[in-house]
Structure 1
């Protein structure tokens, strides 16, 4: 379906400040995928999803996946992004437009921009939304303010079980805490570690845990798998280790590269693929060069074909220093890969002894040892991978995920 660009004006200088890509035509931490009350009727429900940016990230990926599932259940969704510099070719923006979803870009100068809040509140009122869901810090502040001004119930979402000290801003942190306590009707988190970490911030506001979910990718034919491997690592035939995520400090990629380097003398044909983009790309490329790993470590940049790359690989590794509930780790399990991951965030809830191995963060030696044990035992890798895929099918199933959200939405709307 084609989309058109419409504009609104947020400031007196008459520059466009809101761009809408419109289609042409319970309390506690113990909720998993069990519904918590009578199932409501989703037909006619209209949800506003507000997010800081539509550029690459786990929150954006899950919001896009949730939107797709909600549309399939008859829920109308409109997306509001608080950034204007979203690349028009960005994967999530393209996916949302292909779904026929209205996407509004709502930038402004500074966090405490009350003109933007008022304009956003008016847009919410005019849209006759039943509920507002916010993602990430700025949206949890500004979106919650706008929702309250529009007298629409707000669910605030939190997705990290840590605070990055490099980006910590005391004013922003405390403003978000106040918004969570006094403006949100409910707090939604995607992992138990996240709920525990943020419990002191939210006071008596009910927190609901709804873990991430993914679909099981189809199993490739031998020819499809081989082609995906050639596209990724060329003619190399040894075991392929893969890690997917933003190239940021939190992901611990230097540790993973060091751990892989220690493996290479015993597995000279092995390859490591790092799939993603981010601020550390140049640093990581320099690190790979300094270790002489240019022929065996591949930084692919951001890719849209993640499932085929995963099913073409042999082992998924996460070296994160901190996490919430990793979408990429879940996708690796869904692809049938054995897992080596660090003991951070919700990884201990996701990865069992039957599906992989957990090691301490910031410990390249432990990471290398865990990978070595698996690479030396292909039959063990196969068993772990099969169990990982089965665990996703049983516990992180996208088919029931959307209805869990809808039931929660109905509960919040009815309060």
Structure 2
């Protein structure tokens, strides 16, 4: 066996779509060709630890190093010196950073230590969530770090954000959309048991949304949307699937609106295929997104999608598998959901069109092949 290419992956946010993306990527790369190390920050729940174990069991060198999610000068400087020492000792051929904080620390450390190939996958640029002076500061740093990068790997919507904000020249941007491996997703064959678990009657129209309970997802708009729909169709049930820092305030809002029996917070769900098995429509009210895996999963399970057109989501979907809505416009979003309640065959057709689009545009084989081409 010849000399293997040494790759260091860095990820601050050990959870959600960014970790799923990394798991897909490292488990696809040949152990004969690549020697892989992953440095990650804190794992948020048990399911994530299972994914990390899966990476480790495939021969990946997995290292925990706690990084501050927010800007913290002292902690960030300590992390930078840790990475400088680590990269200097291990002599990597490639450093590939995932998410904004790791994108800053790993790219800078790799550049200072003379790593020849430096890649960055933002999983939604941080400036996409900011306004005013804060946004200008984040754009400035992205521009500086782009000069240190060999390639920045983006989804189509992130590509447009990078070009519109003049982050870097077109030739440094590589569009590789997220993708899912169909065989990794179980069939949803426990519908009755799942309905019983969440105390939902058979025949109810079920709307679902999945994600971290954070400001980004704008759950307040989702709850007000539910309130509007329920005025006309009180037998509808809304699911909020996930955990996070906003849980208490979301529960308070649900109680204020007297919707405890209609909006169900499930907490974090490991067997997510069971959720997709019972919902009729997938809804996202996010303020910003890249190409989240929940969209691809909804398409995998043939669910119609209603989503805010927060950051060029119109580049993700075709015209016939999703309704795109203005951000925070809960009345507009509710009207689109009502139209699907009133025409269930339309919802079914939209789900089928979404699956066709997924197979055509978000191929896992293409995802892996494009990364391999960059690395080789």
- Structure 2 residues not aligned, in runs of 5+: none
- Answering whether residue 325 of structure 2 is matched by residue 359 of structure 1, we say yes
Q: Is the 8 A contact 2:204 2:235 kept in 1?
A: yes
Given the superposition, is the C-alpha separation of residues 74 and 308 from structure 1 closer, same or farther in structure 2, using an over 3 Å criterion?
farther
Aligned match for 2:97, one of 111, 129, 134? 134
> Structure 1 residue 209: deviation in Å?
1.2
The 5 A counterparts of 1:9-408 are: 44-54=4-14, 56-70=15-29, 75-81=34-40, 83=41, 85-86=42-43, 89-100=45-56, 101-107=60-66, 110-111=72-73, 116-152=79-115, 153-160=117-124, 162-165=128-131, 168=134, 174-181=140-147, 183-189=148-154, 191-199=155-163, 200-204=165-169, 206-216=172-182, 217-221=185-189, 224-235=190-201, 237-408=203-374
SS in 1 for 2:250: helix
Given the superposition, is the C-alpha separation of residues 134 and 296 from structure 1 closer, same or farther in structure 2, using an over 3 Å criterion?
same
Given the superposition, is the C-alpha separation of residues 344 and 66 from structure 1 closer, same or farther in structure 2, using an over 3 Å criterion?
same
> Structure 1 residue 332: deviation in Å?
0.9
Given the superposition, is the C-alpha separation of residues 359 and 321 from structure 1 closer, same or farther in structure 2, using an over 3 Å criterion?
same
> Structure 1 residue 115: deviation in Å?
5.5
CA deviations over 1:124-147 (Å, ceiling 9, x no partner): 343343211112222222211221
In structure 2, what is the Cα distance between the partners aligned to 1:72 and 1:141? 28
> Structure 1 residue 231: deviation in Å?
2.7
In structure 2, what is the Cα distance between the partners aligned to 1:75 and 1:394? 29
> Structure 1 residue 295: deviation in Å?
0.7
In structure 1, what is the Cα distance between the partners aligned to 2:30 and 2:233? 47
How large is the RMSD of aligned CA atoms in angstroms? 2.8
SS in 2 for 1:147: helix
More helix by share: 2
SS in 2 for 1:154: strand
> Structure 1 residue 172: deviation in Å?
6.2
Structure with larger RCO (C-alpha < 8 A, sep 6+): 1
In structure 1, what is the Cα distance between the partners aligned to 2:263 and 2:123? 30
Q: 1:34 maps to which residue?
A: none
In structure 2, what is the Cα distance between the partners aligned to 1:176 and 1:349? 22
CA deviations over 1:75-123 (Å, ceiling 9, x no partner): 4432112x4x545x54333312233232212347844655643442332
SS in 1 for 2:339: helix
> Structure 1 residue 288: deviation in Å?
0.8
Given the superposition, is the C-alpha separation of residues 201 and 121 from structure 1 closer, same or farther in structure 2, using an over 3 Å criterion?
farther
Given the superposition, is the C-alpha separation of residues 71 and 290 from structure 1 closer, same or farther in structure 2, using an over 3 Å criterion?
farther
Given the superposition, is the C-alpha separation of residues 320 and 360 from structure 1 closer, same or farther in structure 2, using an over 3 Å criterion?
same
Q: 1:37 maps to which residue?
A: none
With normalisation by structure 1, the TM-score equals 0.79
> Structure 1 residue 297: deviation in Å?
0.8
> Structure 1 residue 321: deviation in Å?
2.0
> Structure 1 residue 167: deviation in Å?
11
Q: 1:35 maps to which residue?
A: none
> Structure 1 residue 320: deviation in Å?
1.5
CA deviations over 1:337-382 (Å, ceiling 9, x no partner): 0111111224212222221211111111110000000111111111
> Structure 1 residue 318: deviation in Å?
0.9
In structure 1, what is the Cα distance between the partners aligned to 2:225 and 2:135? 33
